[in-house]
Amino acid sequence: MSLRTLKYDYKLLKGDPMLILSMAVPFILWGLMHFVMPWVIHMVREQWEYDLSPYYRLAGTFFLMLIPMMMGMVYGFVLLDERDGGIITAIAVTPTGKAGYLKLRLGIPMLASMVFILLFLLLLDLGRDRSWFQLLLLIPVIASQSLIMLLLLGAFAANKVMGMAISKGFGILLVGPFLDYLLPPPMNWIGAYSPLFWASRSLLADQASHFWFFLCITILFHCLLLWILFRKFRARSD
């Protein structure tokens, strides 16, 4: 990953206000959690004598899952732009090759997601029940959701318009964690179709044994999805 590549990506993103706004999502979400959420909790407590503070970590965890999704969406659209422009085909005959190009396009959103997730956890104290070792394992697992989003767009979207429709449909996966906490057991397991369901359970687990169980499921689930999507993407790109 070179400075030249980052400068090129900046010029590419600068021309699309939607992508710029998507890159700002982590900061917007942090602002909502740091400033707006405490005010809402205080207002509800004063007006209706109901305490929303137990839902603070739940809301923060949901916002946390949005970060890699947005990073993957941004670079998924970058990939679609470059594929439409014939850039990927041109790179295929250079020493970098398609493999080097794909590593770069997967690496940037993955690294950006890891940095933003770490800051989000630390600044909002969302990982207080997890040890540093557990967080170091969990952060890249959650960040890998950016790769799922990117490969989903690359594998199934023929252009940016179709990519926009697919990215909206990806919101179905965000429903999984909500179902987990809105529905009573055992109905809450309906949300288990979503990898975000298992990732959020890993972060919020109240016991170490539960953490390791949910983390293992999350890793297996993510690996399976990435394997399927990568094969589909390669088949479409060849």
Confidence of residue 238 (pLDDT cuts 50, 70, 90): low
Mean predicted confidence (pLDDT) in 150-167: 85
Confidence of residue 2 (pLDDT cuts 50, 70, 90): low
Higher pLDDT, 168 or 217: 217
Q: Looking at the predicted structure, is the pLDDT value of residue 161 above 70?
A: yes
The tokens describing 98, both together, are 């398609």
Cα dihedral 212, 217, 218, 224 sign: positive
Q: Report whether 229 contacts 210 (CB < 8 A).
A: no
Which one-letter DSSP state was computed for residue 27? H
The full 3-state SS of 149-167, as one line of letters, equals HHHHHHHHCCCHHHHHHHH
At 19 the pLDDT is 80
Q: What is the mean pLDDT of the chain?
A: 87
Mean predicted confidence (pLDDT) in 24-53: 92
At a CB cut-off of 8 Å and minimum separation 6, what does 161 contact? none
How many percent of the chain have pLDDT more than 90? 49
If you compute the radius of gyration of the chain from its CA atoms, what whole number of angstroms results?
19
Confidence of residue 215 (pLDDT cuts 50, 70, 90): very high
Using CA atoms of 34, 36, 39, 43 in order, give the dihedral in degrees to the nearest 10: -150
Q: Report whether 180 contacts 188 (CB < 8 A).
A: yes
At 94 the pLDDT is 67
What distance in Å separates the CA atoms of residue 88 and residue 210, rounded to the nearest whole number? 43
For the stretch 112-123, pLDDT in tens is 999 999 999 999
Confidence of residue 23 (pLDDT cuts 50, 70, 90): confident
